[in-house]
Structure 1
């Protein structure tokens, strides 16, 4: 059996094919997994645990069924779904993970992160992140009517797209020095994260020792799945029927 890792699915009612592909994973391979880790941005937006809409309702129900079947589910907040609360975790039968956190994967201490904290060259984003992660800001935001929160989320997504289009590509990726410093501070030689939508397995050196950084891909045109077993790991691309990538295959 393997531990499964995904990130950046950005599930949204406008992209039902991606939601269906994830639900098939939950009802298929994931049922035989040791555990499922979702490292942030499961949804395109999450404006509060009181939102009863789709695809949140269906996905949370499927995750809870997976957990009830004996497969532990772990959720980490991303930059799109940072408002997860304990109510959300209970709906999914999941455990919320802090970002960052160190877990032992088949005896290997591994740092798990969403990844946005590593993009330190993007000063504008880091300032926004500090603002929306402030408990007082979140309390005020969650006190607003659901419709107002949904409108804010739509505006924030539009602003994010504009920022990404205007920013240099290097700024949108992790800062190498931040990666090394973070791994050294946590005393690990392996890091798994998402956020940048650049799936790859990188070799580097931390404190003069060989190290590894695994980047999970997004689920826009195709899926991305990391399997970690006792004999190693495999990062795989998954076809999502109904997406442009699948149509080109």
Structure 2
């Protein structure tokens, strides 16, 4: 286990799922951890759980698409622990599994503003802070479509994640030589509650029956996500920057082979 003793790590969108798993791993590694969520009530359970285990944790409300709330999270985190060493832009909205035309303009804006604008606002704030403090690390969470690959039925989400990859590399180049690491992390498909009650449309309703099989075949183990994130948190600021890392491993193809009977069974029984 990598050590983050005396470090302070802020994880946006960390009341559940990948964000909470990363926050827990950082706490176990010795960090002071700041959780955040759009709804403060969603934070009490994980905060109490982690504090009950003796970890140093605080939690603050923050809707990342609101620049003022990111600034408030920044100031509250500094006040709580004196400094910030790592900022992880994890908060995100998927938008379901739908065609573009089935989404409202408001829903599309929610995806883009949360995933992209929230990351932009945070980076704009954190880069000069880390430079002034002598070093720091920003980790942007990537996702499906982040490498520019086609991502049907998730076009706004994929566009936002492709932008995150470009943003990460651009900001790293822009700040080359400074004591700041700005990297991107692709956790892959991880089995969390984000896959429950996924919004669909008529074109995708029948496809959702395949989701449990896809998760069985390709899901990244959450402990692998935690391990890679911890390694990235421990980079010496400025030494490694502008890189994209993935938690996916070749063994996922072995899991896919084990799930083959399920795929074949589904193909015979799926709705026509």
Q: TM-score range by the shorter chain?
A: 0.3 to 0.5
Give the TM-score normalised by the residue count of structure 2: 0.36
Larger Rg computed on CA atoms: 2
User: Which one has the bigger helix percentage?
Assistant: 2
Query: Could you say which structure has the greater relative contact order, defined with CA pairs below 8 angstroms and 6 or more residues apart?
Result: 1
User: Which one has the bigger strand percentage?
Assistant: 1
